[in-house]
Structure 1
């Protein structure tokens, strides 16, 4: 088994554990360090602390891929939303004859139930149905114990396939600390059949590549062009992250047309093993937990 398969097995094996016990054990297995809950200093540690100490209803709303659309519409306008083609409770309720040639099926309550269809006539319905129905039966909360996912009603939604010259567009993930946009993680070729082709690279706001992942220092200088209207993307990220201590705002940019992707409150559920320890510390220093100094004095 590869690393991801091993960790999936471990997650299932530990699912019976109480939340804090599960998180501490899984954190050590995944990240390779003991979780410090008394004095968290890294981003991963602070995201774990926030899971238990910073909860409010809006977190579940923006984590629901259907409900977040109303939030985005109110904050920045409907023009940034990918057109919604339909939503259903069951796969068999989908009338594919009414859908266009290209579309994206996904579930509203997790990050794994996703089917990208670039040609309806070639869609593997058995595989698509299996993937979506498996996702509908799962509760994403139990994977990383992120409270915001616990009570989301599972639904299927279908969005228009937005294409960048026929390809799945790059994903720009803007890290926002205390409502302030910072670095941008660019995800390229995520759905390529060649897994080695996919890249996940960090850039600063001047579009300089920053080696923040393990092994990035050995990479040649990446040649990913700066997206058009980057300033507008950063402005949108600032608006959408304003209500949260930490949020990653995911956007697409098709020749200057910006589309909202999602709001992620705990990237990698706070178990990011790809960034270096130095990056984890740097991100942790940027994230200021409200009243943390008062909390530490009372521990």
Structure 2
């Protein structure tokens, strides 16, 4: 185990107990970056994608971002920009777990917290759902402020809640595959597809014309994986362009379900800006796509 792996283990334990919350962002951000990547953070002249993401955490505080990262509040924004036909049907919203009446929920559904990553319960058959465990998971996540994990500023003031969405599945793949578009001020550059998340998580990167990019970010790729180009790829590209206009960098997550496009979420700080690249050159190229002059200067877009 490397020194940074050991430090990260300790960090996670301290974080979960809220023992690092007192540290100011200007101290914590360089610390988590060094601990995760083994590199010193250059904030005076950031070059790579990860370096610029850290800079944006500290300097780009557009109030709009709070709505964009809120999985509930962003629905209104999406409806306004591209139309509510791209939203997954909403079943309910609650501020407390005890307010959820599971008896009234359909047999299939998805419960998720609006303010973090990982606070999700997928139910494919209510008869087999462990409701007690589901409630416990949601309660635990409601107590967390995702901002403190790596100081992703936009999450700091999101008011936590639980939403329930319709369970979606593509008839052909029997899965709900999301396509993550890495965009820079209205320009999608490439697409990330994750698969085998629970058994050997892999991640392939594709060009906009669906050619495999032989580079990895955090997870290994698989050139032999049979991941077909979605039939509605062109529509998804246009949506990604529209939703990313004016934003220095953002990841637009979209679903393809039986040929129809659905919005997933907006991610402003991919991987917290601490995921490892297999290519330093690609990390720098991605950094060159981020125009820091677009950072918020006081006027809401």
TM-score using structure 2 length? 0.89
- Quote the Cα distance in structure 2 between the aligned partners of 1:256 and 1:119: 24
The equivalent residue for 2:182 is 175
User: Which deviations, in whole Å up to 9, do the C-alpha atoms of 1:141-185 show, x marking residues without a partner?
Assistant: 101111111111110000001012384311100000122111000
Deviations 1:3-49 (A, max 9, x none): 57555236456443221211111101112211100100001100111
Q: 1:58 to 1:246 in 2, by over 3 A?
A: same
Q: How does 1:275-286 map to 2 (within 5 A)?
A: 275-286=278-289
Question: Structure 2 vs 1, CA of residues 115 and 216 (structure 1 numbering), >3 Å: closer, same or farther?
Answer: closer
Q: Which of these residues, 243, 252, 259, is aligned with residue 246 of structure 2?
A: 243
Deviates most, 215-224 or 144-153: 215-224
Is residue 185 from structure 1 mapped to residue 192 from structure 2 by the alignment?
A: yes
Aligned to 1:268: 271
1:8 maps to which of 8, 12, 17 = 12
Q: Deviations over 1:64-100 (max 9, x none)?
A: 1111000000111111000000000111111112111
Contact 1:186-1:202 at 8 Å conserved across structures? yes
Question: What secondary structure does 1:290 align onto?
Answer: helix
| 1:276–1:140 Cα change, 3 Å | same
Separation in 1, partners of 2:194, 2:11: 22
Match of 1:98 among 97, 104, 115: 104
Whether the aligned pair in 2 keeps the contact of 1:24 and 1:34 (CA below 8 Å) is: yes
Aligned length: 288
Q: Which of 152, 155, 161 is the aligned partner of 1:146?
A: 152
Q: Which deviates the most, 264-273 or 75-84?
A: 264-273
Query: Would the aligned equivalents of 2:218 and 2:275 in 1 still touch at CA under 8 Å?
Result: no
CA gap 1:36/1:11 in 2 versus in 1, 3 angstroms: farther
The reply to whether residue 71 of structure 1 matches residue 77 of structure 2 is: yes
User: What corresponds to 2:292 in structure 1?
Assistant: 289
**Displacement, 1:279?**
2.4
Write the deviation string for residues 171-228 of structure 1: whole angstroms up to 9, x where unpaired.
10000012211100012233x3xx21x3211000110110221698984443210001
| RMSD between superposed Cα atoms in Å | 2.2
Q: 1:168/1:222 Cα in 2 relative to 1: closer, same or farther (>3 Å)?
A: closer
How is 1:1-299 mapped onto 2 (pairs within 5 angstroms)? Answer: 5=9, 8-9=12-13, 11-12=15-16, 14-165=20-171, 167-190=174-197, 192=198, 195-196=199-200, 198-213=201-216, 219-290=222-293
> Structure 1's 70 and 112: CA in aligned 2 closer, same or farther, altered over 3 A?
same
* Structure 1: gaps spanning 5 or more residues: 293-299
State the match for 1:296 in structure 2.
Answer: none
Deviations 1:239-267 (A, max 9, x none): 11113111100000012111000000101
CA contact (8 A) 2:181 2:190 kept: yes
C-alpha displacement of 1:280: 1.4
Q: 1:291 to 1:209 in 2, by over 3 A?
A: closer
